């Protein structure tokens, strides 16, 4: 049985052979007619049989395949048999000539100019999506065809488990592709009738028949309810798969595919699941992956007059936006799209180019008026001319001005009126502080100019080489050459970062080369084909084109893609001085638009802070509004409604340097060990609740979930236990020392749990888990974590907050959850990777397991994985918030992040980032006959008239 039937024109045999080889390399079987035999009746019957037996039908779109009668007949049979259709474009076609069955689907582009490997990955994904459904469709179709060809023999109908599975498949099939065919439906219904007749024959009596009818009635009701649930699950799964596919198509720049569409489909998938009160991994990953790349956006102004000629943007840093457009017109809005000042418009003919000075205080315009051409430096808010520099020899081909409009640098061509030709001539540096506008230096013609915002550094791209000068006033303006290590690759463009800290070069091969100001050696950054249009402060972020329809924001420090922005028309953009805000112009469904983008809002993470490596404990406040960490002599707090780190953090001094610290699970109480005393503090006020003295050196510290009881392990062995109802501490006996992180106190102090390591061998380290019920000093449970099936010792990786569960790692693969009363395994989940961090939610409903750069979330009631966090640095610690709304991750690079867990919160965040809902047409394409409703209430629908600002 083949997985893919490929229908194609013989004129496309070259691309099809390559496609066949690529699928074979990916272990996918294909059925292809290589012989080109004339289509006799017998041969067409074999073709139809091969289509019936295939799990998917790939139609290679080209002008010749659309004109082919055989290809058309193959397609018609595939449609009639309900096969999964996958259009693969090998040559461009006229969209109106494509059959409707193919036109409404997502196309895989495999033309000469497309990325072949990416196209094959999309093809395989399309084949594998809902594979179980497709395989069942194929098997049922073959059995139904056999049943029909043999006179609908009742001995060939389905029975028992096969019939039950087929009925479930039929109930789900309306929401999936390929849809059940009429033949399959009739075959399954006839199988049910035959089964019912057999049952009645066996029971015989009329009374028994009545019982059967009653039972069947109940069964039918239950089956219908289950079928409705299964249909919803199937729709949600399909939406999540489509979301992934659209996201990947968007990354390849395919027409009609966008991150917004991907995010909407994933959000709708989550809403479908929410009606059943359930979650699914596929939906969670689709939501998080789209959220991670689409930043928060809002239109500052929509539907403004189409700018004439050139345009430029600036973000002055006060939250407002400046737009100047050829003509000459200046618009100044606040973030809500309201005018800060009335628009300024003046007559300035022949504006050929314009640009803001860094910071937006000044704007430079280039007027091409033949011999009277000039560069004008203007006040940005009034457009009044501050200085006018005539073109000395011809048009200015490049120019730049510093933030204070003290220096103007421009490169000029020399125009020859006799030949009507221009040739590169020279570059000149003009001192704008002198009313005489003297030219203080003439340099070779440059194809690129970069002037630092403070006017202290000038870089020119001359004959493909980057050259640098320091601009100095002693007191007159002068230039001093600075030796710069030559670029490692050929350069085509240069610019400074927004704060002037780095000189950046775009390389011909793609990617960037950067020189920190004051240093001569460069570093490479970015990945081809990325090239920067703007670079943020400290060269942390860069924005540039990464395809025909896409802008990419790259984190140059971590060398990763941070966000994707769609762009159309002649986009211009500008960084804000904080490096976290970006403004762009472009077009949308409502016309021209200026948008602001927040680049620090994260994806499914609501907080991302750095430098918390030396912390002693990590926890959330009881109301889940702040994250707290103890570091040294301070309790630091970060509100969860603001994503930035240093500005958002608050610090409260602790009475003494903390050697150990622990939070209660409800976030209300903090225990801090220092010297030979432990202080219990109210996390909200910092007030001292209780102080306890002890003898010895602590090795581990734990608070009960409500903060009313405390356990402290000692170096060398033993555990002290205190309770609010206990007058004196109790010493609990241990066989060894309890390390940090392996101590827990149950609800109301009713139990204490500890992990004690033993000897180390080649098979790992032995561990014992002990459980006490204070005030009894002897453990009530004491069990060893034995070896796993691979022969390695099992290690504990996390205790539940109520001390009733322990999670342990099996090196052979898997995490086991054990009951601490007897060590029995309650649940085992498949999880590969070594040295995981584990955390239980407060209600024991969820388990988070972090290994390497991934955290997986498990539902402990069902054993199903419901979520996955990706792209982290190595995870060292995990903490749930008291209500399980958030999960905090501590990572090896010093970052601490807080992630949303609830689907409703993820959907709300998605709806903040989309500008349009799915329209009724798109809704029908993805959800069939389900009644239309907007996925994101309050967000515009296609065709809706949107106000000038939102």
Instruction: Say if CB 60 and CB 8 are below 8 A apart.
Output: yes
For residue range 893-909, list pLDDT tens digits in order: 888 999 999 999 999 99
pLDDT surpasses 80 at 563: yes
For residue range 434-450, list pLDDT tens digits in order: 999 999 999 999 999 99
> How much of the chain is in helix, strand and coil states, percent to nearest 5?
25, 35, 40
For residue range 782-841, list pLDDT tens digits in order: 998 877 766 777 889 899 988 899 999 876 568 889 999 888 888 888 776 666 889 999
pLDDT surpasses 60 at 128: yes
* Residue 809 backbone phi and psi in degrees, to 5: -100, 135
Q: What is the pLDDT of residue 176?
A: 59
Radius of gyration of the chain (CA): 34
Q: What is the pLDDT of residue 885?
A: 95
Task: Specify the pairing of strand 56-61 against strand 4-7.
Answer: parallel
Percent of all residues in the chain with a pLDDT value above 70, rounded to a whole number: 87
Q: What is the pLDDT of residue 899?
A: 95
State the angle between helix axes of 920-927 and 206-251 in degrees (0 to 180), rounded to the nearest 10: 120
CA gap 582, 564 in Å, rounded: 12
For residue range 616-673, list pLDDT tens digits in order: 788 999 899 999 988 878 888 889 886 554 445 678 888 878 889 999 988 899 999 9
CA gap 786, 629 in Å, rounded: 35
User: What's the distance, Cα to Cα, between the start and end of the chain in Å?
Assistant: 55
Q: How many CB atoms lie within 10 A of CB 148?
A: 14
For residue range 31-70, list pLDDT tens digits in order: 888 765 556 677 888 888 889 888 889 999 999 999 998 9
What is the rounded average pLDDT of the residues 384-411?
Answer: 94
How many angstroms separate the Cα of 324 from the Cα of each of 401, 453, 496?
16, 19, 21
CA gap 484, 462 in Å, rounded: 13
Sequence-distant (≥ 6) Cβ neighbours of residue 439 within 8 angstroms: 428, 429, 430
CA gap 560, 185 in Å, rounded: 50
- Whether this model's pTM surpasses 0.85: no
Q: How many residues does the chain have?
A: 950
Task: Specify the pairing of strand 56-61 against strand 84-89.
Answer: parallel
For residue range 731-780, list pLDDT tens digits in order: 999 999 999 989 999 887 679 999 999 888 877 888 999 999 988 999 99
pLDDT surpasses 50 at 948: no
CA gap 439, 858 in Å, rounded: 70
CA gap 123, 59 in Å, rounded: 11
Best-predicted range by mean pLDDT (427-436, 650-659, 668-677, 852-861): 427-436
Q: What is the pLDDT of residue 949?
A: 32
Classify the C-alpha dihedral 876-877-878-881 as positive or negative: negative
Q: What is the pLDDT of residue 888?
A: 94
- Which residue in 437, 436, 426, 480 sits closest to 458, CA to CA? 480
| Secondary structure (3-state) at 372 | helix
- Which residue in 453, 450, 405, 395 sits closest to 426, CA to CA? 395
DSSP string, 174-217: TTSSSPPPHHHHHHHHHHHHHHHHHHHHHH-SHHHHHHHHHHHH
Q: What is the pLDDT of residue 146?
A: 83
Give Dmax over CA atoms of the chain in angstroms.
116
For residue range 202-243, list pLDDT tens digits in order: 555 555 555 445 445 545 555 656 677 888 888 898 899 999
Q: What angle do CA 296, 453, 293 make, to 5 degrees?
A: 20
Instruction: Say if CB 259 and CB 245 are below 8 A apart.
Output: no
CA gap 532, 529 in Å, rounded: 10
| Secondary structure (3-state) at 76 | helix
- Which residue in 92, 85, 126 sits closest to 112, CA to CA? 92
Three state DSSP letters for 27-48: CCCEECCCCCCCCCHHHHHHHH
Instruction: Say if CB 642 and CB 609 are below 8 A apart.
Output: no
| Secondary structure (3-state) at 293 | helix
Residue 787 DSSP code: B
For residue range 454-486, list pLDDT tens digits in order: 999 999 999 889 999 999 998 899 999 999 988
For residue range 572-585, list pLDDT tens digits in order: 789 888 888 898 88
More confident residue, 871 or 542: 542
Confidence of residue 175 (pLDDT cuts 50, 70, 90): very low
* Residue 538 backbone phi and psi in degrees, to 5: 60, 15
* Residue 813 backbone phi and psi in degrees, to 5: 115, 120
Q: What is the pLDDT of residue 613?
A: 54
Q: What is the pLDDT of residue 647?
A: 44
- Which residue in 776, 851, 802 sits closest to 704, CA to CA? 802
Residue 201 half-sphere exposure toward CB, CA atoms < 13 A: 6
Confidence of residue 174 (pLDDT cuts 50, 70, 90): very low
Percent of all residues in the chain with a pLDDT value above 90, rounded to a whole number: 36
pLDDT surpasses 70 at 547: no
Best-predicted range by mean pLDDT (98-107, 499-508, 691-700): 499-508
pLDDT surpasses 70 at 306: no
Instruction: Say if CB 495 and CB 535 are below 8 A apart.
Output: yes
């Amino acid at each position: 049985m083949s997985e893919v039937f490929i229908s194609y024109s013989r004129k496309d045999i070259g691309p099809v052979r390559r496609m066949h080889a690529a699928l074979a390399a990916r272990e996918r079987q294909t059925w292809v007619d290589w012989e080109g035999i004339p289509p006799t009746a017998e041969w067409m019957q074999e073709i139809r049989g091969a289509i019936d037996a295939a799990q998917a039908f790939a139609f290679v779109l080209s002008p010749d395949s659309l004109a082919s009668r055989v290809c058309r007949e193959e397609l018609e049979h595939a449609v009639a048999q309900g096969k999964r259709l996958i259009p693969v474009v090998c040559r461009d076609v006229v969209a109106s000539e494509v059959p409707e069955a193919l036109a409404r689907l997502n196309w895989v582009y495999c033309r000469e100019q497309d990325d072949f490997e990416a196209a094959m990955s999309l093809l395989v994904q399309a084949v594998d999506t809902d594979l179980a459904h497709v395989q069942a469709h194929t098997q049922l179709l073959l059995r139904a065809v056999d049943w029909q060809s043999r006179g609908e023999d009742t001995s060939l109908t389905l029975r028992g488990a096969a019939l039950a599975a087929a009925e479930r498949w039929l109930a789900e099939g309306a929401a999936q592709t390929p849809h059940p065919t009429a033949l399959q439906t009739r075959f399954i219904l006839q199988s049910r009738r035959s089964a019912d007749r057999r049952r009645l024959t066996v029971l015989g009596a009329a009374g028994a028949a009545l019982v059967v009818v009653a039972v069947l009635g109940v069964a039918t009701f239950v089956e219908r309810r289950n079928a409705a649930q299964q249909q919803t699950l199937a729709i949600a799964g399909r939406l999540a798969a489509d979301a992934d596919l659209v996201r990947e198509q968007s990354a390849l720049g395919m027409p009609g595919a966008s991150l917004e569409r991907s995010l909407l489909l994933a959000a709708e998938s989550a809403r479908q699941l929410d009606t059943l009160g359930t979650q699914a991994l596929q939906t969670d990953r689709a939501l998080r992956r789209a959220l991670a790349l689409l930043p928060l956006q809002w239109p500052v102004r929509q539907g403004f007059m189409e700018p004439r000629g050139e345009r430029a943007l600036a973000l002055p840093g006060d939250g407002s936006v400046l737009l100047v457009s050829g003509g000459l017109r200046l618009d100044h809005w606040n973030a809500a799209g309201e005018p800060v000042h009335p628009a300024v418009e003046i007559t300035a003919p022949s504006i050929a180019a314009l640009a803001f000075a860094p910071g937006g205080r000044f704007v430079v315009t280039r007027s091409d008026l033949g011999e009277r051409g000039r560069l004008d430096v203007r006040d940005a808010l009034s457009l009044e001319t501050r200085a006018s520099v005539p073109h000395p020899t011809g048009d200015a081909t490049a120019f730049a001005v510093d933030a204070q409009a003290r220096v103007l640098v421009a490169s000029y061509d020399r125009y020859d009126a006799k030949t009507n030709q221009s040739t590169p001539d020279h570059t000149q540096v003009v001192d704008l502080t002198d009313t005489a506008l003297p030219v203080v230096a003439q340099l070779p013609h440059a194809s690129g100019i970069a002037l630092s915002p403070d006017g202290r550094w000038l870089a020119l791209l001359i004959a493909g080489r980057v050259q640098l000068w320091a601009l100095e006033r002693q007191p007159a303006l002068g230039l001093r050459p600075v030796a710069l290590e030559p670029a490692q690759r050929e350069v085509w463009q240069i610019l400074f970062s927004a704060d002037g800290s780095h000189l950046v070069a775009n390389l011909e091969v793609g990617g960037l080369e950067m020189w920190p100001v004051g240093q001569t050696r460069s570093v490479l950054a970015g990945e081809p084909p990325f090239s920067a249009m703007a670079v943020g402060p400290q060269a942390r972020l860069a924005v540039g084109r990464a395809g025909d329809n896409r802008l990419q924001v790259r984190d140059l420090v971590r060398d990763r893609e941070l966000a994707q922005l769609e762009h159309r028309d002649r986009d211009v953009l500008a960084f804000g001085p904080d490096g976290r805000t970006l403004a762009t112009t472009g077009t949308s469904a409502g016309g021209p638009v200026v948008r602001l983008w927040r680049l620090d809002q994260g994806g499914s993470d609501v907080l991302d802070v750095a430098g918390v490596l030396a912390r002693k404990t990590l926890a959330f406040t009881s109301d889940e509004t702040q994250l707290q960490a103890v570091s040294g002599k301070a309790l630091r707090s970060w509100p969860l409604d603001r994503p930035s780190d240093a500005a958002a953090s608050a610090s409260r001094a602790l009475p003494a340097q903390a050697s150990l610290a622990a939070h209660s699970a409800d976030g209300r109480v903090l225990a801090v060990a220092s010297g030979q005393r432990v202080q219990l503090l109210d996390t909200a006020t910092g007030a001292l609740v209780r102080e306890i003295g002890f003898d010895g050196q602590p090795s581990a510290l734990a608070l009960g979930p409500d903060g009313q009881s405390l356990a402290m392990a000692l170096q060398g062995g033993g555990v002290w236990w205190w309770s609010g109802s206990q007058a004196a501490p109790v010493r609990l006996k241990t066989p060894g020392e309890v390390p940090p992180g392996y101590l827990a106190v149950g609800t109301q102090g009713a139990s204490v749990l500890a992990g004690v390591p033993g000897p180390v061998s080649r098979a790992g380290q032995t561990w014992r888990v002990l459980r006490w019920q204070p005030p009894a000093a002897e453990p009530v449970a004491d069990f060893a974590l034995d070896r796993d099936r691979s022969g390695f010792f099992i290690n504990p990786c996390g205790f539940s907050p109520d001390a009733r569960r322990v999670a342990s790692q099996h090196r052979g693969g898997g995490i086991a959850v054990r009951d601490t009363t007897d060590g029995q395994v309650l649940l085992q989940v498949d999880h590969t990777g070594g040295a995981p961090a584990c955390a239980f939610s407060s209600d024991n409903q969820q388990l988070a397991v972090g290994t390497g750069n991934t955290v997986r979330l498990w539902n402990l009631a069902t054993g199903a994985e419901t979520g996955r966090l990706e792209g982290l640095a190595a995870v060292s610690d995990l903490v749930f918030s008291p209500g399980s709304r958030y999960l905090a991750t501590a990572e090896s690079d010093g970052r601490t992040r807080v992630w949303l867990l609830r689907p409703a919160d993820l959907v709300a965040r998605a709806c903040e980032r989309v500008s349009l809902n799915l329209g009724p047409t798109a809704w029908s394409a993805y959800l069939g006959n389900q009644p239309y409703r907007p996925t994101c209430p309050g967000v515009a629908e296609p065709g809706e008239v949107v106000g000038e600002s939102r």
